[in-house]
Amino acid sequence: MHFLKPKRRLYEQFAKIGKALASPSRLELLEILAQGERTVEALAKEASFSVALASHHLQVLREARLVDARKDGLFVRCRLAGDDVEELARLIGRLGERHMAEVDDIVRKYFTSPDGLEPVKREELIERARAGTVLVLDVRPTEEYRAGHLPGAVSIPLAELTRRVGELPRDKEIVAYCRGPYCVLAFQAVEILRTRRRKARRLEEGFPEWRASGLPIETTEVSR
């Protein structure tokens, strides 16, 4: 019986993780941090939060040991505490799709190609990229691209795509990717490209899933 009290204390600590994850805003921040280290200000901008609100959510995640932070001059830079945090966030999504009808309905309604074209699977992209028959397009913000991207991927953030679409070839299919299976940037990119007569599809997964599978990635040094 003397083990009951330590066991309850142990579960109280585990419950802190569940409490930290019980917020759609914090799950969104974890999705962004899965792309790489970011400042609090950058996270707030990407998630459309105030800096104060982003700081609050990050503090909760830090208290649950899901996020680490470090000072960088006048800024605080945050990152996931480990690869297992990224895997936990993916697991939540998989559990939701398998066991919650509401999640399955949302995924089918909003995260399936509206024109019926199947997304490109990882294996197909690898084969076609080697053959040179496809252009891989990263539509995430530049900072995320620099932190890590698919080999040979071209970076055009979604906000710049309409203006820069002329830089992309007409004789290759374009495969766009972004932050993961629930990221809408790639969906929007494909829509823009098709309205401008480019053959385009999206990658079934995103950068974090590619990296987690052990496939090679590239980074881009920032000139100073």
The catalytically annotated residue of 34, 66, 178, 200 is 178
Evaluate whether 137 touches 131 at the Cβ level (below 8 Å).
no
List, as one string, the DSSP characters of 89-147: HHHHHHHHHHH-HHHHHHHHHHSS-TT-PPPBPHHHHHHHHHHT-EEEEE-S-HHHHHH
178 is catalytic: yes
Evaluate whether 154 touches 169 at the Cβ level (below 8 Å).
no
Contacts of 87 (CB under 8 A, 6+ apart): 212
Residues 91, 180: Cα–Cα separation, whole Å: 13
3-class DSSP assignment, residue 221: coil
Residues 139, 120: Cα–Cα separation, whole Å: 16
Catalytic residues: 178
